[in-house]
Structure 1
């Protein structure tokens, strides 16, 4: 069985950490999955993008944030049968601006959380996707 092309594209997920140690978390309702969940800025790579370009674009679009400093944290396979990878980044030296949300992202809300509270939320099952909690844990180790 062949996977849909969008399902096999690599992606990037970003921990944007400000000078106070707070991280940018997005939230939105996902009725299909039973409620509201937290997530980090991120998404699938567009044609011609490398992972860092994708991370920069997604952070700007979803959170309205640009960063002066970028550090790769890790990358992992989406599934055992796929070659697509999720690339995790830490972004610091932040500049805030307006988000550039797509119509499908209209319900995204940005909030700044202390790292420890974000990790507690991940441990409490408030994240729908696994990339966010892993990226938070790895970013926390770099502080």
Structure 2
């Protein structure tokens, strides 16, 4: 489809704030009808989210989740493990790193589900969605100043929490949709082994 009649053209750009990892701008744009407007937005490095699948003793599936206080909203949120990309970092290696650091788990198999854009009106942020299975537990490697609880839940519990408002985090709601469709067989994942980091020297 031809979408050129919807596209805005950047005319100028002004830096507003440069923080530790967020970068804010105000641009002047040319609108499709020839008028002009301003657009304020945040440049974000991108992130990954992991849906870790853990087999229970009865052969059923449980998912690994986290509870973490999120300062901007002033609440403890239930979320899937996630974290931002380092500069130049491979997406799967980032997912493997974040899963280990936050939960202590490593996974023998991985599958990329897709990508989501959580706040398209004011941020460039994207979140790459990964599934992980064949989990082995180990020691967490939390960042300095990072505090979170790790726990497991059944897919039924997860969906109930999405419905009743216990979970309001957008990326986790999206992951629950993916999980529901994967477990039903409606959406198929392409599983492959864990990636091995390339070591210098």
Question: Shorter-normalised TM-score: what interval?
Answer: 0.7 to 0.9
Larger radius of gyration: 2
Q: CA deviation at 1:25?
A: 0.7
- Give the TM-score normalised by the residue count of structure 2: 0.64
What SS does the corresponding residue of 1:131 show, helix, strand or coil?
helix
Q: Deviations over 1:99-126 (max 9, x none)?
A: 11112222x0011100111122122223
Query: Distance in 2 between the 1:33 and 1:137 partners?
Result: 23
Q: Deviations over 1:13-70 (max 9, x none)?
A: 0110112310001002336524321011111001121221111111100001111111
Partner residue of 1:69? 109
CA RMSD, aligned part only? 2.0
Q: CA deviation at 1:138?
A: 0.1
Q: Structure 1: where are the runs of 5+ without partners?
A: none
Query: Distance in 2 between the 1:4 and 1:79 partners?
Result: 19
Query: Distance in 1 between the 2:172 and 2:146 partners?
Result: 17
Highest RCO, 1 vs 2 (Cα 8 Å, sep ≥ 6): 1
Partner residue of 1:18? 54
Partner residue of 1:88? 129
Q: How many residues align?
A: 142
* Residue 131, structure 1, aligned to residue 171, structure 2: yes
Query: Distance in 1 between the 2:151 and 2:144 partners?
Result: 20
Q: Is the 8 A contact 1:89 1:135 kept in 2?
A: no
Partner residue of 1:79? 119
